[in-house]
């Protein structure tokens, strides 16, 4: 099957880039959820830690999906003025790696995508034939 008509990147490379962005988003959600529970019982807002506040502020100014490149977003976070934000970037890299290598079910994604495409194919053919 010839699939070079989609541009300079092969489809697998585009999918890999999307997956890395997804894993970065998952890692960010994990770290933010962890921060919501750390040492915040003395603050008026129970979801406040300084890192949580700084990460959500950074995310508001630099949306993760704006450029579609989670690695560029992490590189910029590693250059943040505050040390705890730079350390959080390292933490995000580690969480992302663990999730992608140990937690994410690659087989299930393939299976679900193929099953969904097959169901769609059958439904659309039935509608038009």
Q: What is the pTM of this model?
A: 0.80
The CATH code of domain 9-104 reads: 1.10.1200
What's the pLDDT at 19? 93
What's the pLDDT at 49? 86
pLDDT bucket at 2, cuts 50 / 70 / 90: low
The 10s digit of each residue's pLDDT in 26-70 is 999 999 999 887 655 555 666 678 999 999 999 999 999 877 789
Instruction: Tokens for 19, please give them.
Output: 């997956």
């Amino acid at each position: 099957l010839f699939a070079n008509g989609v541009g300079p990147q092969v489809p697998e490379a585009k999918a890999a880039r999307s997956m890395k962005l997804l894993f970065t988003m998952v890692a960010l959600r994990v770290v933010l959820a962890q921060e919501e529970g750390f040492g915040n019982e003395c603050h008026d807002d129970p979801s406040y830690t300084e890192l949580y506040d700084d990460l959500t502020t950074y995310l508001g100014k630099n949306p993760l999906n704006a450029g579609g490149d989670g690695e560029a977003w992490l590189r910029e976070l590693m250059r943040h003025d505050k040390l705890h934000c730079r350390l959080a970037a390292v933490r995000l890299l580690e969480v992302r790696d663990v999730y992608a290598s140990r937690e994410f079910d690659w087989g299930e994604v393939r299976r679900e995508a193929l099953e969904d495409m097959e169901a769609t194919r059958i439904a659309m053919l039935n509608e038009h034939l």
